[in-house]
Structure 1
């Protein structure tokens, strides 16, 4: 069993397809016997994700800052809910707890989390797999911009190679699991 950290939107004004995507990923995380590490909210994609994970049988570990408890409505059904003093400590705890990360579609907060975990990986502070869930080209513009930065050598090719990309729930978890197995074999 691995702990899978998932970053995603908590907005309550999203199209149903985004909620369904998060729910489906949560179900599959649980079905495969993994723990879900989430941002600790119970609304938007985050809420659909945790509900799906529990439906699939996953243990859920949520991390939410105190100032967002009232705004996001905390996931009080979480098996373990940790309330932090701010967003920075939330990210730190999620990075420490999770064995791998999946970034679903989201906005500024989701991108902040993606770049934090990716940057810390490029600095060799951890060797945890990161996957960008690019369904329907959601992250196409971002990926093109990043590839342009790499061509200009603002981003190392090795950093780009760290980022797994998929737009399919099953394939995403297959890639993450294979990467986790590869990392375990390298340590052995």
Structure 2
């Protein structure tokens, strides 16, 4: 793994633990000489992780639609800033360029990106590691819901098992580094 796509909030959230979490992740990525791929925002947790990576001299690849550039939320300090037409274009390039994915605390956009990568992995359009960085228990409710969906027969356990969940960035990146793709021929729920 050389580039990690990080999905996170365009807000910092109410609890300082979220910003501390993003800084801990950035520190671990810096230690491992990883580059950041992200949505190119200069605000919220997005701006925090980009600034930390750039301050350490690491590559930051930002991908952003023109509409967001127009409202001045693009991080112009990115090593490479790619401006695209649509959010769909942005998501696909972020998926294509990253060697693995981490969903930090965030809002509806982060949730959408998380579920899209889960779907792309399930259908073998990509086979890359995906992690939920569960800072301050942020994703506890979602994790419980995904377990419920599995118990109710709507999510295959093998799909859920592909999702790395941790509140420790060291553990997340270790597990991502050891990820082995698992293509499942048939996603029948038993």
Report the TM-score, using the length of structure 1 for normalisation: 0.90
Structure-2 residue corresponding to 1:186: none
Find the counterpart in structure 1 of residue 38 from structure 2.
38
Q: Distance in 1 between the 2:72 and 2:117 partners?
A: 22
Does the residue aligned with 2:124 lie in a helix, a strand or coil?
coil
CA distance in 1, matches of 2:96, 2:104: 19
Deviation at 1:20, TM superposition (A): 2.4
The 3 A distance-change label for structure 1 pair 155 and 123 is: same
Q: What is residue 111 of structure 2 aligned with on the other side?
A: 111
The aligned residue for residue 9 of structure 2 is 9
More helix by share: 1
Aligned residues: 181
Tell which deviates more after alignment, 49-58 or 145-154: 49-58
Task: Please tell me whether the aligned partners of residues 30 and 53 of structure 1 are also in contact (alpha carbons under 8 angstroms).
Answer: yes
Answering whether residue 95 of structure 2 is matched by residue 95 of structure 1, we say yes
Q: Distance in 2 between matches of 1:27 and 1:75?
A: 20
Gaps of 5+ in 1: 184-188
* Cα distance between partner residues in 2 of 1:42 and 1:97: 20
- Residues 70 and 20 of structure 1: CA distance in aligned 2, closer, same or farther (over 3 Å): farther
TM-score (norm: length of structure 2): 0.89
| Separation in structure 2 between the aligned mates of residue 14 and residue 47 of structure 1, nearest angstrom | 16
User: Which runs of 5 or more residues in structure 2 are unaligned?
Assistant: 182-190
The superposition leaves residues 35-60 of structure 1 with CA deviations (integer Å, 9 ceiling, x where unpaired) of: 10011111110000111112333211
Q: How much does 1:13 deviate?
A: 5.8
Partner residue of 1:148?
148
> In angstroms, what is the RMSD of aligned CA positions?
1.5
SS of 2:154 mapped into structure 1: coil
> Any idea what the Cα deviations from partners look like across 1:101-150, whole Å, max 9, x if unmatched?
00001110100110111111101111100000112221111111111111
Shift of 1:24: 2.4
The residue number in structure 2 matching 1:60 is 60
